[in-house]
A and B are shown apart, each in its own frame.
Chain A
Amino acid sequence: QKEVEQDPGPLSVPEGAIVSLNCTYSNSAFQYFMWYRQYSRKGPELLMYTYSSGNKEDGRFTAQVDKSSKYISLFIRDSQPSDSATYLCAMRNNYGQNFVFGPGTRLSVLP
């Protein structure tokens, strides 16, 4: 079993839809969770950063962490064609410096 699993997609949705992106993980020691957006041939861009369980909202983006289920989600409301990208989840424990990345989900928002 991989340490972090993520559906690679592609996921296609119509403009305006609510998008749900998810990652599951196996290491219960993970405490820090991040979501990145990566456009083709560009470096990843940090979208959300959360610590431990709970929800965090920023504009159209909401991140949820459920540590009991080892499951994290990123919701995008009112999706736009400009949201079309690959979304990567990443996580680490309290001690390590390096984050473990999921494989990424390719999202296409169709106008």
Chain B
Amino acid sequence: GAVVSQHPSWVICKSGTSVKIECRSLDFQATTMFWYRQFPKQSLMLMATSNEGSKATYEQGVEKDKFLINHASLTLSTLTVTSAHPEDSSFYICSASLGQNYGYTFGSGTRLTVV
């Protein structure tokens, strides 16, 4: 089955620094990947749609300059949280699909804590 590998699983960083989160599709090519954010006991909030070789599409209210998304290859998408602040602390998850007739596979998530 489709596997999406996400790293790191958790990270603690200081305010003002940047953090990069990687998602790799291990056994398939992911033309499109999605990045979500999830607060405790809340559902997934779509942040952006990442398309290989083109600019990401951000949801309303998501700062493009703060959450940099790069999808340089068919198997790798990255999310960089720039100049992180404590309010950016959250659970970030990526997902991808094999195609229209398949469900979406999620990465294991990254818990970001900004201190």
Interface residues of A (CB under 8 A from B): 34, 36, 41-46, 49, 51, 88, 90, 97-99, 101-104, 106
The answer to whether B104 touches A43, judged by C-beta atoms less than 8 angstroms apart, is no
Smallest beta-carbon distance A72→chain B, Å: 14
B97: which A residues are within 8 A, CB to CB? Answer: 97
If the complex has contacts A97-B49, A101-B44, A103-B42, are A41 and B111 also in contact, measured as CB distance less than 8 A?
A: yes
The answer to whether B91 touches A41, judged by C-beta atoms less than 8 angstroms apart, is yes
Residue of chain A at shortest CB distance from B93:
A43
30 intermolecular pairs with C-beta atoms under 8 Å apart = A34-B103, A34-B104, A36-B106, A41-B91, A41-B109, A41-B111, A42-B108, A43-B93, A43-B95, A43-B107, A43-B108, A43-B109, A44-B93, A45-B106, A46-B104, A46-B106, A49-B102, A49-B103, A51-B101, A88-B43, A90-B104, A97-B97, A98-B46, A98-B49, A101-B43, A101-B44, A102-B43, A104-B42, A104-B43, A106-B41
B43: which A residues are within 8 A, CB to CB? Answer: 88, 101-104
The answer to whether A98 touches B34, judged by C-beta atoms less than 8 angstroms apart, is yes
Q: How far is the CA of A101 from the CA of B45 in the complex (A)?
A: 8
Residue from the list A36, A42, A46, A49 in contact with B109, Cβ < 8 A: A42
CB of B77 within 8 Å of the partner chain: no
If the complex has contacts A51-B101, A101-B44, A104-B43, are A44 and B106 also in contact, measured as CB distance less than 8 A?
A: yes
